[in-house]
Amino acid sequence: MMLKKIVDLYIESSLHVALAVAALCGVTGVYFDFDPPLYVYAALYFGSVVGYNFIKYAPLAGDFISVKGKYYKGMQIFSVLNFIIALYFLKDFSLRAIALAALVGLLVFFYVYPVQRLKGNIRNMRGIKVYVVALVWALCTVVLPVVLVELPVDAAVALEVVRRMLFVLAITIPFEIRDLGLDQPGLYTIPQQFGVRGAKLLGYCFLLLFWLLGVVFEMDYLEDKWYTEGVLVLLSLVLLYASSRKRHRYYTGLLVESLPLIWLGLLWLL
């Protein structure tokens, strides 16, 4: 029982998803042959905790600030502490990197906070929320590390942004399948538009395209990575195939969310 509480808190406080974001930053470092500075990992990790906790818990407060209940107040304090730590590590960012981080922060903020002209927030705009999530992950884990080590944002980086978005889109589908009973019908999530089977087929296509883009374009940074990515794609296909509305939340919140960590581990091992 105690172990379950610890695991639940680990997931609900967004520590695991933040680890996944940091892992994808490491993947970018391996691909483009640089070691991301520690402050980049730290800023991404603590910033991801803040972003995901804001998305999950801010809507529970009428004014997006005043939450009720001991548990949620504790989560709010925890998020504020993470925000302060993330800000501390931003001191080492270049102006370009700070501008990019600000753009990501705005996307996260308006993902939840309603905009009058949009008649709602990004999260509730029909059919686009998953693509915004994929874009934010790609900006944070590909473009931001590259900008911070002052590498050119060239065709190879652009290709990796597209591939990273495809990968994130694919591994997000099990979460959307899980949430079918919770999401409002008008959100037009991928499973709502295409059904569970159609969503899985689209996910298979995303994963195949992710892998094929690396093989076809033969960029220098992808040299000898095709077999590693092949293993990653196979694992992702299996997890996507086995996903369903009835799966325990640990399946998505722990197992599927670990795919970025597995990707980084495969690059280190193979």
Structural domains in the chain (count): 1
Beta-carbon count within 10 A of 170 CB: 26
With a pLDDT cut of 90, the percent of the chain lying above it is 71
Flag whether pLDDT at 124 surpasses 80.
no
Residue from 265, 228, 264, 269 nearest 29 by CA: 264
**Of 123 and 119, which is predicted with more confidence?**
123
pLDDT reported for residue 45:
98
pTM: 0.94
Confidence of residue 59 (pLDDT cuts 50, 70, 90): confident
Q: What is the pLDDT of residues 78-109, one digit of tens each?
A: 999 999 999 999 999 999 999 999 999 999 99
Overall average pLDDT of the 32-43 stretch: 95
191-197, Cβ contacts within 8 angstroms, sequence gap of 24 or more: 193/127, 196/244, 196/245
Q: What is the pLDDT of residues 158-206, one digit of tens each?
A: 999 999 999 999 999 999 999 887 777 777 889 998 999 999 999 999 9
**Of 100 and 246, which is predicted with more confidence?**
100
3-state secondary structure (DSSP) of residue 237? helix
Helices (H), the chain: 2-12, 15-31, 38-57, 70-89, 95-112, 129-138, 144-148, 155-178, 190-217, 226-242, 249-250, 259-269
Q: What is the pLDDT of residues 10-31, one digit of tens each?
A: 999 999 999 999 999 999 999 9
Overall average pLDDT of the 206-226 stretch: 82
**210: containing domain:** 2-269
Among the ranges given (51-55, 129-133, 220-224), the one the predictor scored with the smallest mean pLDDT: 220-224
Measured CA to CA in angstroms, residue 176 lies from 129, 191, 211 at distances of 11, 7, 22
Measured CA to CA in angstroms, residue 222 lies from 33, 34, 218 at distances of 11, 14, 7
Q: What is the pLDDT of residues 142-162, one digit of tens each?
A: 999 999 999 999 999 999 999
Residue from 211, 218, 214, 228 nearest 264 by CA: 228
